[in-house]
Amino acid sequence: MLHAVWNACKFVGVAIPVSITFLDNVGSVARVHGSSMWPTLNGERSNSPDYVWLNSFATRNFTVERGDIIAFTSPTDPNRVLIKRVVGLEGDIVQSSSTRYSNLRIRQGFVWMEGDNKDKSMDSNTFGPVPRGLVLGKASLIIWPPARFRRLKTEADRSYPSVLVENGFATTKNQPAFTSPKISPTSPSDVPTGVFASDDSADGIKT
């Protein structure tokens, strides 16, 4: 009996670290709540929330590309996970829908995140650039429901109105003169790393 208990304890002792390592370095499945990424996620014909595969390996070195759909810890609530699209990268100049972030140059180590359904999204237009250290994984597949199964493509060539200057080149006509960059109101040391969770369920992410 004691031998069986000991073997069970050893199995649990090995399984838990392996599971944590898998989630941190390979990926996990997450349920998506909300409509801010509509119609890409939780499309109008879907009767149930989308479940996505979050590829942690793709972002392990904080490597993200413009157009990626990324899950990240909310900069304003470490117990909440959001999922948005990467619109701006470091060095870009962005013009948000709020006057607080007018002609802002994105600092090194930060990205600008927006929902595809901007009118229903709380994103960088609200809380500013997001530290790369808060990135949890790249959403690469919708795996459930079956009718929604598809690969989520990186839309790097898509036009993003918020980005005024991309890679040193103006992206819009009548680009306003840029004098001195504004500094992001947050820095990595100011933002807690957080945990993978949400205020609804342990496997859920907010859009």
Which residues have a catalytic role annotated? 36, 84
The two three-digit tokens of residue 189, written as one number: 């040391």
Query: CA 93 to CA 184: how far, in whole Å?
Result: 12
Task: Check if the beta carbon of residue 64 is closer than 8 Å to that of residue 138.
Answer: yes
Query: CA 11 to CA 59: how far, in whole Å?
Result: 30
Query: CA 185 to CA 98: how far, in whole Å?
Result: 14
Query: CA 151 to CA 7: how far, in whole Å?
Result: 41
- DSSP at 184: P
Query: CA 91 to CA 166: how far, in whole Å?
Result: 8
